[in-house]
Amino acid sequence: MSGAEPAFRCSRASLDSGDDLAGSASTVRAFLLVEAEGAWGAQALGARLLPEAVRTMLRELERRHHVRPLLIRRAGRRAGDDATVTAFAAHAGPDDPWLERTRLDRLEDLVDLDLAAVGEGRRPGLTPYDGPLFLVCTHGRHDACCAERGRPVWLAMRHAEPERTWQVSHIGGDRFAANVVVLPDGLYYGRMTALDAPRLAEAHRTGRLLLEHLRGRTAYPFAVQAAEVFLRRATDLLGAGDLRLLETRRDGPVTTAVFVAGERRWEVRVHTSHAEARQLTCSADRPNRPLRHELLSLS
């Protein structure tokens, strides 16, 4: 008697397809993180645990001001442990990233903050927070891989950096689970395991990147993200501040990115195309064609 067919898992399919992590981070510079303990549902911003006024405000913040709202939590926190609600605002610009934090008496108090400023790169006047902040996607109601692969990484990251680690709602790229976002630098890491967690924490303590898991920098377009990763792989430049983007040019599917590293200039040419259509997430109801980046030249 044969057993039941294994459930489709997008992270396994992505590995089997040979998807490269480079150039796959969400393109966003402004973030708002809102603590919301409890069940998030498949779409976090529609979670019933958020007051209606807060849900409306968060949607408007994303639509009009290009601020990415995300929910965060620390499972195991009990009612009465701390009556306040934590929120972070971050801007992940390449030159001067910043992170601020506040603690509110209730979620409704979010509507009184100047959060539109975050989308413009301006600080909203909260308390400066000395990063890094590690956000591990464990949003299983959105995608099964995020829970199955994300939760062990969250537990390990929490052990390595207990005060700086949070669970976070869907951040994009389910097929690269487990995913970790590091703020305020806006760095996405994928295919993380529990064994990688202390290495990631140590790397950022010393100002380095965990290159083999780096998906990209959110401040850059996809092709430029890939160019940075390709250049770092070729030169073994692991320092977070080793590279500075000088200029970019685009000619159809080819993107040229010029970086400065010390006294040297590097020109990286990347060709971007679409791979064959396939199911990209565990719950997708139709196939999609993922982007594929190819290194053309590096000089």
Q: Give the pTM.
A: 0.93
Ordered per-residue pLDDT tens for the chain, 299 residues: 456 667 889 989 899 999 999 999 999 999 999 999 887 877 767 767 888 999 999 999 999 999 999 999 987 554 445 568 999 999 998 888 999 999 999 999 999 999 999 999 999 999 999 989 999 999 877 888 999 999 999 999 999 999 999 999 999 889 998 999 999 999 999 999 999 999 999 999 999 999 999 999 999 999 999 999 999 999 999 999 899 999 999 999 999 999 999 999 999 999 999 999 998 888 888 999 999 999 999 99
Quote the pLDDT of residue 239. 95
Quote the pLDDT of residue 77. 54
CB atoms under 10 Å from CB of 236, counted, come to: 8
How many angstroms separate the CA atoms of 72 and 83, rounded? 16
Q: Which of 139, 141, 211 shows the shortest CA–CA distance to 179?
A: 139
Residue written as token pair 């498949």: 42
Quote the pLDDT of residue 5. 63
How many angstroms separate the CA atoms of 294 and 230, rounded? 9
Environment class of 235 (CB within 10 Å of its CB; exposed 0-12, middle 13-18, buried 19+): middle
Domains and CATH numbers, the chain: 1-221 (3.40.30.10)
Quote the pLDDT of residue 3. 60
Quote the pLDDT of residue 80. 46
Quote the pLDDT of residue 4. 61
Quote the pLDDT of residue 1. 44
Non-local (6+) Cβ contacts of 161 within 8 A are 134, 201
Please give the single-letter amino acid code of residue 140: G
- Find the largest Cα–Cα distance for the chain: 67
